[in-house]
Homo-oligomer: A and B are copies of this chain.
Amino acid sequence: MPNDRIVLAYSGGLDTTVAVPWLKEKYGADIVTLTIDLGMVDLETTRQRALSIGAVEAVIVDGRQTLVDEFLYPSLQAGTVYEEQYPLATALGRPLIARYLVEAAREHGAYAVAHGCTGKGNDQVRIEVGVMALDPNLQVIAPIRDWGMSRDDEIEYGLARNLPINTRASRFSTDENLWGRSVEAGELEDPFERGVPIAINGESMGGVDLIGHLNAVGGDHGVGRIDHVENRLVGIKSREIYECPAAVVLHAAHKGLETMTLSKEQARTKARIAQEYSDVIYNGLWYTAHRADLDAYVQSTQRHVTGEVRLRLHKGTCTVVGRQAPRALYNYGLATYDRQDQFDHAAAAGFIGIYGLPVRTQNQAQPD
């Protein structure tokens, strides 16, 4: 009877494996699993596992070509690198999963779809808002968000039902597709004052010495060579080669510290101001009231940009590997999935309902 069916996005991992009996028991429903290969999944093995734990049907889809053609390449054309750092691999896979869920629900006559996201991440929003947009009447269930089980509870629940689960798998959830992989990492480790560098490796240095030192060290490691076709002020393009070891290292460190101490809205506006400020400097407009205004803004943002940054310089690369700030906005208790987790998972459903409301409204009013 179609009305009793739920389509579950099924990866074969602990969370979604436990979700199959849980959804059956709680909703009295038949579970259709949907497994999508976006680059890294053994489809047939996962299909057999799904059937072995009680799915009435186990649908598998090779989504790689569609992912490339409709998501990765348009994103590449747009130059969409989140916060100038992250090329958005997971975020690009989620709307495709939402579409496959909606298609499977229609084909299998399901009244609801389910996903394995928690109440604290981005992916719950991406999938649910995607489903809202594509089929406003389809119900969405988020078992992991709702059931309140810890990881240990899940294992216990699964073992009691003889589910084929791996109790030694990584405690960090992982997502990967063709465009990249994300691994949630553990604690942050090691250490500027109001945005200005004051020491290296424990030794206080004035600016001239500090920059000279970094130019030497950075240069030794090949850091800071830039080959750029540039738009000149006088209307032509020219190719330029730059060597700026200290500048590249310090910008990386400073930005690393800002990711800890600026709010998202501060970071967004400061990025736009930085683009404007760069042009002002490049275009010779240093001595202007406009530059003074921009600087007043910047100085205000630097009040709490104080802390320590650890970097690794190696064969041309400069990587931030540790950041510590007394006034950091990063909060381990909020970010962790451990038992110390202080985040209000239940609030997420209300948040998504209102956040997704205009998307739902527009897709109903303007369906084409």
Contacts and interface: CB of A to CB of B under 8 A. Distances in A.
A44 interface: no
Interface string A271-293: 11111111111111111111011
Interface stretch (A24-32, A124-132, A156-164): A124-132
A122 B79 contact: no
Q: Could you tell me the dominant secondary structure of chain A's interface residues?
A: helix
Interface stretch (A10-18, A49-57, A61-69, A108-116): A61-69
A7 to B, nearest CB: 18
Nearest to A296: B300
A240 to B, nearest CB: 6
Contacts of A224: 180
Given A281-B91, A281-B92, A299 B77 contact: yes
A316 B274 CA distance: 27
Contacts of A266: 289-290, 293
Contact of A227 (B247, B262, B301, B319): B319
B251 A91 contact: no
Contacts of A81: 251, 274, 278
A47 B284 CA distance: 28
Contact of A251 (B79, B121, B247, B344): B79
Given A81-B278, A316-B317, A335-B237, A208 B65 contact: yes
Given A282-B88, A351-B355, A184 B343 contact: no
Given A87-B248, A125-B283, A329-B358, 8 more contacts: A65-B208, A82-B282, A95-B286, A130-B286, A183-B242, A188-B229, A236-B357, A237-B335
